[in-house]
Structure 1
Amino acid sequence: MYRPDEAGKQGASQPAREQRAPVERGSLLDLLSSDLHEAKSGADGSATDRPAEVQHQSRDIPKASPHPADLVPPVSRAAGAPRDSYFPGLSGLSRIGVDDIIGWLRDGLIWIVLALVLCVGAALAYAMTATPRYTVYTDIVVDPSNLNVVSDDVFTTNPQRDAQLLEVESKLRILTSRNVLSRVITQMRLTEDPEFVKPSAFSSLKNLFSTKAEQQAGNELAAMRALSERVEARREERSFVVVMKVWSEEPAKAVTLSDAIVAAFEQELFQSAAESAGRVAQSLNARLDELRHNVTESERAVEDFRRKNGLQSTNDGQLVSNQLSNELNTQVLDAQQRFIQADTRYRQMNDAITQGRTASASEFESVNMTNLREQYNVLQQQIASMQRTYGERHPRLVNARSERANLESAMADEARRILDRAKADMDREQQAFSALRAKASDEKSNVFSDNEAQVQLRDLERDARAKAAIYETHLARAQQITERQQIDTTNVRVISRALPPNARSWPPRTVVLVAGGGFLGTILGISLALALGLWRYIRRPQPLAP
């Protein structure tokens, strides 16, 4: 059986030169590699050659604490170099057991207790001094489709779901943008709130060398940074619901901040849409001046051309020359009809006079002719009666026949006067017909020239109408968009408003912090005790194997 005194005797019997062999000192890596090589060699060779009883006793050597004189540094079998004097226990790392670990924990109990106390105290101090945080949540439905107030709105709606999700993500980015946060800072005066603008040690000195504008800008920047760190928003998967999280040091202030951010978000969306519509209206108004000028020039060109060519239009859009030509044609037809009637009457009267039918012809119509015919008819009856009564040579019959001849002569004279008057009427109608026909012929040539000019006039009118239609469309659109600026069509709804929290979100409760500190202190203490025990183990010399 192996004993420490036998190891001492064996060590004493070795030659003095071998015991006093110089130790080659090199780098730490050389020492570690040498010791590990010796430990492997000892585990493969000498350890396997020794009996189990000797090996068991050798594992108990560190607990026996032999005399330093009996211990000899291990010698490397590979290179013949002495064992490292700094970490002589590296070769025995494989022999560490549960008893060694329990011993190290027992020896480092004071460190465990000290770490536990320190961590628990630190956790308790942090729980008592840490600034509390109160977090509130607000659920907002951000519909990508705006309200359809007008049929032809400025902004189009994309029905594709990917585009709608991109629209919601864009509005989600607006929710936490600087424009929205700036509105909240201005509305709630966060630049004057010490929670958001914390005074520094050199703030008073810095204010002496800076202007009021620079101080205000610095406070706004500090408030912006503080507020942006307290606001967070995310979109729920497979939905258009956005959850906004806001925390503050006071529960009521957290709720107020959340409501103010939502209101500023809605105002920002409305202002963004209004500014976009305003830019479109401004562009249209700038274009309207040019369109108005073009319409005026086109209409002036139409009127100048009409005046130059003497083209006059009626209420129904027809040229006066065409209407006058049509009326002249009608008058010519009427005059021709009257001339034909007058010529026919004249010819009939002339034939009646030639044939001696003056007394019976119906063409001779006048008051005097009617009286003469009545007298002639009465006288003719008297003559017939006297012929039957008195005979052919009776003086009264002779006188009656003389009166009849006078009446016939008077009727002939009256017929010639009526014939002359009919001839005068025929000549007058003929002259009127000729004049109207000549005038109609002249007007017809004017109509042809006016029709040729009207072709160019219609082209000018079409151009003027097209420009006027474009101008009226742009004018109506500009007025509609101007009114659209005053309408809020953003479809954003708050479905769950922020409520005051019952407890703080950070730091955790004191009990949780103390429990966590105790657990962390225990882990740190155990780790420290094990590390110190391992350090002492690898620094302690190891006995040589027999």
Structure 2
Amino acid sequence: MAGPLPAIDRELSSESPLLAPLRLFWLHRWILLAFTVLGGVIGLGYCLIESPSYRASASLLIEPKDADVVKIDKVYDPSSVVREYHRTQYELLQSRELIDSVVTKLQLAKHPLYVEKYKPGPEGPTRQRWRDRMLQHVQDWVPFLYDGLNLAALRSRGETLTEALLDDLRIDPVPNSYMVKVVFDSEDAALAATVANAIVDQYLSRERAARTGLGYEAADLLTQRVEESRKALQDSEKALQAFLEKEDLINVGGVRSLVEDEITERTRRLREAQAQREQLANVYGRIKAAGENVEALQDIPTIQQDPLVQSTKGAYLAAKEDLDQIAPRYGDKHPTRQAAKARYDAAARAYFTQLRIASQGIRNNYELATKTAGDLQSQVYQSTGRIQNLDRKDYQLKVLQRDVDTNRELYETFLKRFKETQATADLELGNARIIDRAVPPLKAHWPKPLLICAGAVLLGLILGAALVLVREALDNTVGNAEQLEELAGVPVLCSLPHVTGREQSLEKLSRLEVDDPKSIYAEGVRTLRTSILLNDREGQRMRKLMICSSLPAEGKTTISSNLAAVLAERERVLLVDADLRRPRIGALFGISPLRPGLAQLLAGETTLEEAVTSSDIAGIDLLPAGGARDNPQVMLASDRFFALIDELAKRYDRVVFDTAPCQLVSDALLFAKHMDGVILVARSGSTARKVLASTARRLRNAEAPLIGAVLNDLDLRRGAGYEGSYHYRYGYYG
């Protein structure tokens, strides 16, 4: 049998991890090119149909507030206050209320850019009505998508001119400074600058208005809150004191510890009682089942361990032994036998009485343990109830204490803030001012054709590469000779290339070695012949060869016929169609389906000379299937067929058997062990890896002499680097 590939062959057939994806992408280069071109076309189309957008920005300086001289921590660490202050101002700059005032001040609803898009109607703005119609269509046609994406929430949100302006507005803080840029995008360059300036003006105006009278309002509000928090503190303290007096609570924790110790002790005793009850449960059940049956009580080991039972049992056994020895020598009325019988009866009564006493003692112990466990369980429940009651009181006490602490903290906080507000009311100053006003931009900010097209092309290339990689990852078929060798567990005898064009018909493929002997396919078949010849041993020639596959359409029939053709160049060969379910050999060689063949030969309806016929290829005789039969397995598993195999091997140098697929039926497995060599055929890109491994395992279980495998229909562009390049180079010389 041929061994595995030599180390040098494995090294040459392996491929660099960096070259493998490159070769894969080159193989699917048209997919990558199509996605790349499509991305570029989409990007270019977007640039052509997208309306230009202009961007204007106004610069605003928002200095931090003066440090709070009352709070010492704010004087030494003002950074957190500054960050919070600036974030607040950024949110105010893009608040809905401010944008509403800008829309009203500039009368944007009458601007030509917005008048058509947001023209009021019976159901809202025009843009909203269009969106609602589209969402309604989605709900009618694909309701699962409507519900899955929660489009109802989007539909319920009205889209107004204010929201449109918020979408076009952006607040950009300048890093490492107190500067902030108010940026606005619009299809009208002049309008972009006008809106940006109006937002800044409205913000400053609102800041000045909000600052006026703020100190007095804060002082009045804090005065009211101080009084309310003082009253709440007093009420919570009174409630706490009333609860302590009502429940007569001094130390809940100490009482709870005592009850916990009591529960622990009772739980320990409960476990001991339960353990004793469980130990006696089985014996008690057997005693209860035995009842008054003394014979059954003797079979209980626990009773037999009782000392009194053991002593009476010894006397009983001794009396029984004496009686058994005397009984054969004396009659029933002999004084010696009667005395022995009296001693035996007395010992038996004592023994059986002690058995009953011991069983009753075990019964009493079990019932006592059961009662003790029940009492202790009830006591544990009562103690647990006391713990829960104490926990409820402790919880209420903590709730009341927490209310007191919270109210005291609130009171102290409001009092402190009240004094701070009075001391620092005059220090609150506005620190925002305009640095640069927005001017109309001279060129559009968006779209950027070069950037968009480059990004679209790159995205198309990435999507194409992802598609290629996903397809490759999802491919679970045998792709190359290394995979086939690993899954089948035998060496690959040859790899046959994919045949295209005029040679694809089954009739032409079956005799391709004869019609085109210089083709790569024909050279592969001759390589297979060489592998078979190398497996021959002196005195043990491989005369009986079986070609099998996992599933149909994997090429075993064409390989069988071409292998028979190359073997016939130097030997006398018989090609046998052993597929009695779907025979193909006869049709490929133009033999009438009415001609008797293997099926009639096994049925005894014809002779071997009448079933075998010659072919138009020199050196090849054919034994067709002779038509499909209802019981092919019975025929192929018969002694007649096994004898026929040996007879054919004597008449011919080589006998090639074309068989049925091994995964669909077990016909080939029935006689595989009678072969000299079995060759497993797998189709590249078609045979699943799990199916191939299962077929190889089934052949080994059937004791088939599996000598190797053939990889058929290999795409030379996808083969491993060494193997593929070899076939390409050979093609030039062929």
Q: State the TM-score, normalizing by the size of structure 2.
A: 0.28
Q: Which has the higher helix share?
A: 1
Q: Work out which structure has the larger RCO, using CA pairs closer than 8 Å and 6 or more positions apart in sequence.
A: 1
